[in-house]
Amino acid sequence: MGVTLTILSLIVLIPLTAVALKAAHQSPEAFWAAAFNDRSLAAYRLTFGAAFVAAAVNGVFGVLTAWALVRYEFPGKTIVNALVDLPFALPTAVAGIALATLYAPKGWVGQFLTPLGIKAAYNPIGVVIALTFIGLPFVVRTIEPVLRDAAEDVEEAAASLGADRLQTIARVVLPALAPAWLTGFAMAFARGVGEYGSVIFIAGNMPYKSEIAPLLIIIQLEQFEYERAATIAVVMLAVSFTMLLVINAIQAWSRRFD
Amino acid sequence: MRAVGTHRRATDDPAWTKAVIIGVVMLFLALVLVLPLVAVFVEALRKGVGAALAAISNPDALAAVKLTLLTALIAVPFNAVFGLCAAWAIAKHDFPGKAFLITLIDLPFSVSPVVAGLIYVLVFGLQGWFGEWLLDHDLKIIFAVPGIVLATIFVTFPFVARELIPLMQEQGTSEEEAAVSMGAGGLTTFWRVTAPNVRWGLLYGVLLCNARAMGEFGAVSVVSGHIRGLTNTMPLHVEILYNEYDFVGAFAVAALLCLLAVVTLVLKTALEVAQPGVRGRGGH
């Protein structure tokens, strides 16, 4: 117990306090100017927007993947199942250079997008692609156990009462999955907001256009603007805490129906 | 389980729905997950096996491999021991503020890796709290190996604890109570009863912790200083080579990290098949 608290304080709590203190080490005006100038606002918009879109994409394909893994038998299922966790196991920098190469204008995928007028790499779309890669397992792995535990007899009951398959899915299955789906979405979103390694290679990192908030922290740090770096970090930490509270609230809410 | 003949169970989807869903899922996973993995190996071997091997056996690359191994060798056992202690304290005891403690342990998962690096720069960097003291005593943490290890410990902090807390909670305290009633002390009970009961969960957590420790990029990038041969881990080395347009070199080192990821996934799957109980706890 004592050991746990000591280590927790040394590794997590005290260093986190340092950021807050550093950010507070300037006038409120300076804090405001560092936190919410045009460049940082553009970075937040991109970071949160791309993380939201990527989490939504994963929200759709993550449910389908979890559904296929739990309900269907198909050849190669074990491999597919293992593969879903690849983003957890693959270093983000590796994912970053691989995606940047694939979606570059002359890359394997990029060459098909260019004639369509779509510029994927070095563009906000690239950020969404990287965050989709990073976020997928969060959605699949939160929905999967709930789907596995969901009693199929409830679906049978719905069917025997005359509901067709689509009605059963929409009125019985999806509502039961909603808390897990929201949790997975929130976790993918939270991870996406903080993600750095996989994004910077494909994003192009143009200020006001394709520059994410974590990169902005690094840029401030390289210019020895410690207060400004800490300020952006505080804004991002505030969002992280909020997401953590939201996830806990969703889980507490879902347990009420147990 | 499955219905035979023409009689279909109400929870079975029609064959065409099944085919469409599986098809869509396979296509999506191929595009998002398989293609990048394949691309790494193809790019690494673009100029032949020899060029790829030369890139890996370059002294700077070898130094990066060594530093990555060293970092994991310190960070993973540290977090394994901490995870065991924390899970034991949380799962087997009741105390006020327990929920808050769990939230704190989870915190590194929701903090951006870049912020994780920044906090150590602010504490131990030249401008930081202990900056002058460290300078006076000729100690270097930031832009040196200790900073890299610290940042890695931070980002991999929750893996083992997260895995073990639900497992220990599920097992309850009756076995420990039995051991104590037969005269075993606290430590004996922990090492002979609690720890062996969770060994597979521990292994599972260590596996994931290790993959992240070896692959961490953002946090390590902030505290490393990118000194070639000295403070470059493998992921940082990949970045440097890539930014220098040495694509074969970057992808060759990246391919090594891919192999690490594949081995991790194979071991993880094997563990899940052999010990179904360890699967799917908590999320990440």
Average pLDDT over residues B83-91: 90
Residue A187 resides in a domain: yes
Residue A176 resides in a domain: yes
3-state secondary structure of A124: helix
| B8: pLDDT strictly greater than 80 | no
Structure confidence by residue, pLDDT tens digits, B159-202: 999 899 988 888 888 888 888 888 888 888 888 888 888 889 99
Q: Name every chain B residue with its beta carbon within 8 A of the beta carbon of A14.
A: 123
Residue A15 resides in a domain: no
pLDDT: is B277 or B280 the higher one?
Answer: B277
Out of A94, A145, A197, the one facing B280 most closely (by C-beta) is A145
Interchain contact, A11 vs B9, CB within 8 Å: no
Cβ neighbours for A256, distance < 8 A, ≥ 6 positions apart: none
CB A84 within 8 A of CB A136: yes
* Residue numbers of A between 125 and 164 with CB closer than 8 Å to B: 132-133, 136-138, 141-142, 144-145, 152, 155-156, 158-160
CB A118 within 8 A of CB A125: yes
Q: Name every chain A residue with its beta carbon within 8 A of the beta carbon of B107.
A: 12, 16, 240, 244
Residue A92 resides in a domain: yes
Interchain contact, A78 vs B115, CB within 8 Å: no
Q: For residue A81, name the pLDDT band (cuts at 50, 70, 90).
A: very high
Out of B112, B211, B236, the one facing A236 most closely (by C-beta) is B112
The one-character DSSP state at B115 is H
Structure tokens given for A93: 């920098």
| B5: pLDDT strictly greater than 50 | no
Residue A110 resides in a domain: yes
Interchain contact, B89 vs A67, CB within 8 Å: no
Interface-testing mutation among A14, A25, A90, with chain B (most B C-beta atoms within 10 A)? A90
Q: Which residue, chain included where needed, has tokens 């929701």? A: B110
* Residue numbers of A between 188 and 207 with CB closer than 8 Å to B: 190-191, 193-197, 201
Other Cβ atoms less than 10 A from the Cβ of B193: the count is 17
Torsion of CA B148, A243, B29, A62, to 10 degrees: 150
Structure confidence by residue, pLDDT tens digits, B115-142: 999 999 999 987 778 878 888 888 888 8
Residue A7 resides in a domain: no
Nearest CA in chain B to A237: B111
pLDDT of res. A176: 85
CB B37 within 8 A of CB A84: no
Interface-testing mutation among B1, B13, B22, with chain A (most A C-beta atoms within 10 A)? B22
Interchain contact, B82 vs A83, CB within 8 Å: no
The whole-angstrom separation of Cα B275 and Cα B260 is 22
Q: What angle do CA B171, B173, B175 make, to 5 degrees?
A: 85
Residue A145 resides in a domain: yes
Could you tell me which of B154, B217, B148, B112 has the C-alpha nearest to residue A217?
Answer: B112
Please tell me the total count of domains within chain A: 1
CATH code of A133's domain: 1.10.3720.10
Q: Express as a percent the part of chain A with pLDDT over 90.
A: 60
pLDDT of res. B35: 96
Structure confidence by residue, pLDDT tens digits, A126-165: 999 999 999 999 999 999 988 888 777 788 888 888 878 8
Structure confidence by residue, pLDDT tens digits, A156-181: 888 888 878 888 888 888 888 888 99
pLDDT of res. B4: 45
Residue A73 resides in a domain: yes
pLDDT: is B58 or B137 the higher one?
Answer: B58
Helices (H), ranges, A26-123: 28-35, 38-71, 77-84, 86-89, 92-103, 110-113
- Report the amino acid identity of residue A47: T
- Among the listed ranges A188-197, B13-22, B62-71, which one has the minimum average pLDDT value? B13-22
pLDDT of res. A244: 80
| B283: pLDDT strictly greater than 50 | no
Cβ neighbours for B22, distance < 8 A, ≥ 6 positions apart: A68, A72, A74
Q: Name every chain B residue with its beta carbon within 8 A of the beta carbon of A94.
A: 40, 215, 235, 238, 254, 257-258, 261
Cβ neighbours for A29, distance < 8 A, ≥ 6 positions apart: none
Average pLDDT over residues B99-123: 89
The whole-angstrom separation of Cα A37 and Cα A208 is 11
Torsion of CA A197, A203, A205, A210, to 10 degrees: -120
Nearest CA in chain B to A154: B11
Structure tokens given for A39: 């460049």
A97/chain B closest Cα distance in angstroms: 8
The ipTM value here is 0.89
Cβ neighbours for A57, distance < 8 A, ≥ 6 positions apart: A128, A132
Range of the domain at A155: 38-255
Average pLDDT over residues A212-227: 92
Q: For residue A240, name the pLDDT band (cuts at 50, 70, 90).
A: confident
H/E run at residue A118? none
Q: Express as a percent the part of chain A with pLDDT over 70.
A: 99
| B108: pLDDT strictly greater than 50 | yes
The whole-angstrom separation of Cα A234 and Cα A163 is 51
